[in-house]
Structure 1
Amino acid sequence: MRAIKNLSPEEIKQLRYLAFQQGSGILQKRSQCILYSYYGLSARELMELFNVDRRSIYNWMDRWEEGGIQALKDKPGRGVKPRLSLECQEQVERIKQAFSLYPNNMHLALKYVNSSLTQPISRDTLRRFVKRLETGKV
């Protein structure tokens, strides 16, 4: 049975703060898991409490032992990468050109945009991107 041992009073204070005061849901879960393990809950009890696999519990413990609180946080760059970017002027110009050529026909504008992309986008993706483009939100 694995368990977290030897937490300093400062670490306990930080984990309690993250677990019960603020933070994202997953960081709260991970912080609570480390605390509960320190207080004596078994991996099986933690699995049931947090509704995760044993491997997840052990990964959280490994991460804690390797890097403390910083290691419990998600690393940047996770998730699906956007296919369109406001920073890519080529894409922005292509989309503006598509809507100037086909102002009232989303289907043809989409076809025009997709002809220059390596991975085609959906109508909804184009619609959301145009909305962001109009409002200037990044």
Structure 2
Amino acid sequence: MKNIKALTSDEMKQLRHLIATTDNSILRRRCQCILYSFQGMQVNELVDMFQVDRRSIYNWMNRWNQGGLEALIDKPGRGLKPKLSLSCQDHVEKVKQAFQMYQGNYYRVLEHVNTRIPQPVSHDTLRRFVKKLMVSGV
């Protein structure tokens, strides 16, 4: 079984500080796991405690050993990217143009938008985008 063997007092303070202050529940769990492992808890006990797969526990420990606290923090840019974005002026213009051309016919607007952007969007995606567009006042 694998455990965290060495933690300095500064590292333990940093981990405890993050556990107490961070809003990121995933990071908090990872920090707790590292501390518990250092205190002698076995991987099986950590799996039961955190209700995650054994591989996740090993991944957290490997990340800690390779890069410390910084390695436990998720990097930005993960996850599914939006198909329509307010920051993309092209998307905003195409949706506005479609609504001007097909006033009152939402399905024609959707069809128009889908023929002019690289990734087709669903009715719900377009509806959410339009709602954001109206709230932002763009």
Cα RMSD over matched residues?
Answer: 1.5
SS in structure 2 at match of 1:115 = helix
Question: How far off is 1:22 after superposition?
Answer: 2.0
Judging changes above 3 Å, is the alpha-carbon distance between structure 1 residues 116 and 24 closer, same or farther for their aligned structure 2 residues? same
Partner of 1:86: 86
Corresponding letter in the other structure for 1:36:
Y
In the alignment of these two chains, the number of paired residues is 138
Opposite residue 59 of structure 1, the aligned amino acid is N
Q: 1:1-40: per-residue Cα shift (whole Å, max 9, x none)?
A: 1111221111111111222332301101100000000001
Change (3 A) 1:99 1:72: same
Corresponding residue for residue 111 of structure 1: 111
After TM superposition, the structure 1 stretch with the greater mean CA deviation from structure 2, 85-94 or 33-42, is: 85-94
| CA-to-aligned-CA distance 1:20-66 (integer Å, 9 cap, x gap) | 33230110110000000000100010011001111111110010011
Q: CA deviation at 1:113?
A: 0.4
SS of structure 1 residue aligned to 2:7: coil
Q: Identity of paired residues, percent?
A: 55
Q: TM-score, with normalisation over the residues of structure 1? A: 0.93
Moved over 3 A (4+): none
Offset at residue 96 of structure 1 (A): 0.4
Q: What is the distance in 1 between the residues matched to 2:57 and 2:90?
A: 45
Distance (whole Å) between structure 2 residues aligned to residue 10 and residue 135 of structure 1: 46
Partner of 1:120: 120
Give distance in 1, aligned partners of 2:57 and 2:88: 40
Q: Hey, what does 1:55 align to over in structure 2?
A: 55
DSSP 3-state at the match of 1:65: helix
**Unaligned stretches of 5+ in structure 1?**
none
| Residue aligned with 1:34, SS | helix
Name the CA distance, whole Å, in 2 between partners of 1:137 and 1:32: 43
- Within 5 A, what are the aligned runs for 1:32-51? 32-51=32-51
